[in-house]
Amino acid sequence: MRIFNSILITVILLTLISCSTREEMDEFNNQDENLEKVKERIKAYSPTKISADISNLTPNQKKVIELLVKAGQVSDDIFWIQNTPDAISIRDSLKKSKSESAKIYLDYVNINYGPYDEIYGSERFVGDGPSIRPDGGNFYPTDMTKEDFENYIVENPELKDEFTSLYTVIQKDGDGYKAVPYHIAYVDKVNQLAKYLEEAAKYADNQSLKNYLLLRAKAVRNDDYYESDLAWMELVNNDIDVVIGPIESYADKLLGYKTSYESIVMVKDKKASEELAMFEKNIDKFEARLPYDKKYIRETAGKGTKLQVVNVAYFGGHGQQGTKTIAASLPNDPRVHQAKGAKKSMFKNMMEAKFDQIVRPIGNIILEPKLRKYIDKEAFTSFVTLHEVSHTLGRGYVYGKKDVTVASMLKEKYSFLEECKADIVGLWNISIMRELGLIDDDYVQRTKATYVAGLYRSIRFGDEKAHGKGNLIQLNYLMDKGAIITNEDGTLGINNEIFFEVVGELAGKVLTIQAEGDYNAAVNLEKDYGNVTERIEANIEKLKSIPRDLDTTYDFK
Ligand SMILES: [Zn+2]
């Protein structure tokens, strides 16, 4: 591919030299084959405006949001530097070109934060350079291998801490290497970001938010985030929340150390927060009514993570790259988990957008006509919330063994089973809430139809992800047991008579596997139900025209 690229470039250069009147960067026109591919792939991302309602906020709070978005945009700038060495130069030269093809490439470069495709194997789709994204992004010298890194530390053991730090970039230094802290490598940007946070703190009337913003500004200036992470967990009665700084290390595919800058500016959703409180208030009742052997049932459900339902005002940096998440559980520092636990934010307006663009269209294709009127946005976001609450139900430790976690017993089978549990137990809890008189029949009906449509959302692209596998197990199980029916015309129906009976049965199976830490049973469940079967494949075929994800923009610029 490298050889191919250099031939291509030679051809392009000759073309450019031979016709000097051409627009700058017109060479992108020559990559026709790529252009068609990119046009196709862009369609997978539906252009979507994400709005957060801030009309109820005070003038000071609105000012805080405005300044946090500015800080977030600086965070975005830094991720452009971090992701790949040539991301910015390619973006900026495409911007200068007037050609149609450059515009299309630019759109896709903006989605991917560089010339490499986030979804399709990190392959380059524009410009010259390595055909696959360097695993180390721009965190390490492009030609540095894992072995180079590890050998260098063996030879220079005193450098280990700074080299493996989450907050340094590795650069060449004469014949060797050096680690440069983020606050030095990106010094101008970091100072700019910190100033916006300090400015925002001035307008923050909520004391806990003010305190957090000031500590966060200090943290980005010295790359010590512990204190500010604690302060983030201590936010109380805040209408506004923000996650900002270097957070996740997924973009470092070489060693997984280096964190990417990102930003999430959030406004709390009052109504959804009340519903969440209702779910949480009933959590011990849910635990007591779990459909498996009574001996496994705990007196109180686990406290687990703090939950909040928010609307996103702005995503920047790593969080804005490629597919958009609908929830985030943070911080990542285990010392903070130990001291304060963790906080999971659910992004309601992002979920709603995915519902409109993806879940409803899926439902309108695969469900039988009489069920389609029940596909409902509120039912979707409520169920996602209930899914999160249901993660805290059932056993985290194996029954009768105080120190053995379920995760340690189920190993690589744990993730998909835990996701499957959160869904199926969440659904079971709908029947419990109906029994307790907390919701009506209409709510139940809307949840069921929306749930079936929602199952197809993540299995469309195979079973490789935990959510996809968990959903396949539910779908196959409910189909096999006749709770979900396939009509002669291929549409799906629901057998209301037995629906919750079957749901309870699967919930009981999954919960029991966890309680017993039964690895073999998990393997068998996956083998029996975790596959893309022919009938599911047939439905997936019908969903090709539905976007895979969103290309989001925000109210704030
Ligand atoms: Zn989950």
- In angstroms, the CA 30 to CA 41 distance is 18
Q: Say how many Å lie between the CA of residue 361 and the centre of ligand 1.
A: 23
Distance 61 CA to ligand 1 centre (A): 32
Q: How far is the CA of 552 from the centre of ligand 1 (A)?
A: 23
| C-alpha 360 to ligand 1 mean position (Å) | 21
Give the per-residue pLDDT at 112: 97
Distance from the alpha carbon of residue 188 to the mean position of ligand 1, in angstroms: 38
Residue 461 C-alpha to ligand 1 middle, in angstroms? 18
Q: How far is the CA of 170 from the centre of ligand 1 (A)?
A: 35
How many whole angstroms from 423 Cα to the centroid of ligand 1? 8
Q: Is the pLDDT of residue 6 over 50?
A: no
User: How far is ligand 1, taken at its centre, from the CA of residue 108, in Å?
Assistant: 29
Residue 516 belongs to a domain: yes
Q: Is the pLDDT of residue 119 over 90?
A: no
C-alpha of residue 398 to centroid of ligand 1, in Å: 20
Give distance in angstroms: CA of 438 to centre of ligand 1. 23
Q: What pTM, to 2 d.p., does this model score?
A: 0.88
d(CA 553, CA 557): 9
Q: What is the pLDDT of residues 471-487, one digit of tens each?
A: 999 999 999 999 999 99
Grouping H, G, I as helix, E, B as strand and the rest as coil, residue 241 is strand
Cα of 245 from ligand 1 centre, angstroms: 24
Q: Report CA(22)–ligand 1 centroid distance (Å).
A: 52
CA 422 / ligand 1 centre spacing (Å): 6
Mean pLDDT of 410-418: 92
Cα(177) to ligand 1 centroid in Å equals: 41
Q: Give me ligand 1 centre to Cα 278, in Å.
A: 19
Q: What Å distances lie between residue 60 and 147, 240, 312, 314, CA to CA?
A: 52, 11, 18, 18
Q: How far is the centre of ligand 1, averaged over its atoms, from the C-alpha of 494 (Å)?
A: 24
Taking the centre of ligand 1 as the mean of its atom positions, its distance from the CA of residue 485, in whole angstroms, is: 26
- Ligand 1 centroid to 417 CA: how many Å? 10
Cα 392 to Cα 302, 343, 379, 418: the distances in Å are: 5, 13, 21, 10
pLDDT at residue 118, rounded to an integer: 87
Ligand 1 centroid to Cα of residue 467, in Å, is 8
Residue 529 forms part of a structural domain: yes
Q: Are strands 343-347 and 176-181 parallel, antiparallel or unpaired?
A: unpaired
Percent pLDDT > 70 in the chain is: 93
Token pair for residue 529?
């139900």
Distance CA 107, CA 205 (A): 39
In a domain, 191, yes or no: no
Query: Stretch 464-468: mean pLDDT, rounded?
Result: 66
Rounded Cα gap, residues 101 and 118, in angstroms:
20
Cis peptide bond upstream of 547, omega within 30: no
Number of folded domains in the chain? 1
Whole-number Å distance, alpha carbon 29 to ligand 1 midpoint, is 43
Check residue 443 and give its pLDDT: 97
> What confidence tens digit (pLDDT) does each residue in 17-66 have?
333 334 444 455 556 778 999 999 999 899 999 999 999 999 999 999 99
**Is 169 inside a domain boundary?**
no
Q: Which two tokens stand for residue 290?
A: 């779990």
What are 130-133's contacts with CB under 8 Å, separation 24+?
A: 130/2, 131/1, 131/2, 131/4, 131/5, 132/1, 133/84, 133/253
| Residue at 491 is within a domain | yes
Q: How far is the CA of 190 from the centre of ligand 1 (A)?
A: 33
pLDDT band (50, 70, 90) for residue 515:
very high
Q: Which two tokens stand for residue 89?
A: 């130069």
In a domain, 158, yes or no: no
The average pLDDT across 390-402 equals 92
The residue segments making up the domain with residue 460 are 349-551
